[in-house]
Amino acid sequence: MFGFFIVGSTAYGYFLLQKPDNRSQFLRSPIQQEEQVEKKQESKNAKASFNPLLIQPVHAEEFAEAQLHYENIVNRWGIGAVYIPSSSIQTQILAGMSNENLMVGVGTYRAEQRLGKGNYVLLAHNLVRGGGALKNLRQTSEESLIYATDFANVYEYRVTKNQVVSQSEGELLDEPKEEETPIITFIRCEGGLNTTQRAVVQGTFVSSYPASEADNELKEKLGLVSVVQDQKQVDNTILSNSMDTVSNHDITSDKHTNQSVKKSKEINVLREEKEVYSSFERYCIWLVKECNDMYVLITASVFYLLMLIVCVRRKSHK
């Protein structure tokens, strides 16, 4: 039974790695000011890797290792988020194109690129047997919308291209001319290990607006949390706090009340956050890292099953 549990758990670990990256739904980022966003991007970009020569093909065990450090990688390099409804892509934008970034989310190609300007290029690894942030990229519908955020604003793009090209077609990385509309470009490997084919989706810039003005559903998909609650919630909290204050005969200042509201909001935000992977899921992914060859795993499973059958038959003959 223990052997079956190990085999089943490892298979489930592979299943988790092959799922599209929907782990972003468990992460929440506060809506920030543009000045804050720019400072954080500059700081993270200064430490990030933008050397395409350092990108290497990855195997299942490396992919599993990156997933076990999902939160740490996102916290260290996260500068935004992306949501593509037509292909159900929902992932984090990470500064730089290190291997670990491309296994966890989508990495930026240039340090100077900014949403809504030029060619905003995003890259991701594709696990050989399927998986990764852009697994469903080929399912993206032309003319559909792409939503991206830098945690200050939301940027909308309309899909104009979805195709498989050779990696030699470097013009897809080129910046548009001054008079041309800004674009966004998504790229991932297409095919087996060391493939020269790339799946590419491009979209043209449509509009941008403050993240605080996005509807609640879009905020949720992008993992955005308003620092200030809507006015009705604030009024209700202040009223509740005021009634408690009167009953306790303790008159507090408006400043203290507002701090209580802010603290209450922070607690609510923390409650909304969940573990990206449960303890059991982490265990299953860890098994993938240790039993990194699926074919070896299947062979071992068949051998174990045959041995079990032989043992059962021997006992029955006795």
Rounded to the nearest 10°, the torsion over CA 256, 257, 263, 269 is -160
Question: What's CA 252's distance to the chain center, in Å?
Answer: 43
Beta strands in the chain (DSSP E): 29-30, 78-84, 89-94, 106-108, 119-124, 145-149, 153-166, 183-189, 197-210, 224-225
- The set of residues, in sequence order, having a beta carbon less than 8 Å from that of 11 and lying 6+ positions away, is 297
Q: Which residues does the annotation mark as catalytic?
A: 125, 189
Token pair for residue 50?
């933008």
Token pair for residue 72?
């740490």
Q: Are 82 and 148 in contact (CB under 8 A)?
A: yes
Q: Are 235 and 176 in contact (CB under 8 A)?
A: no
Secondary structure (3-state) at 29: strand
Q: Are 291 and 297 in contact (CB under 8 A)?
A: yes
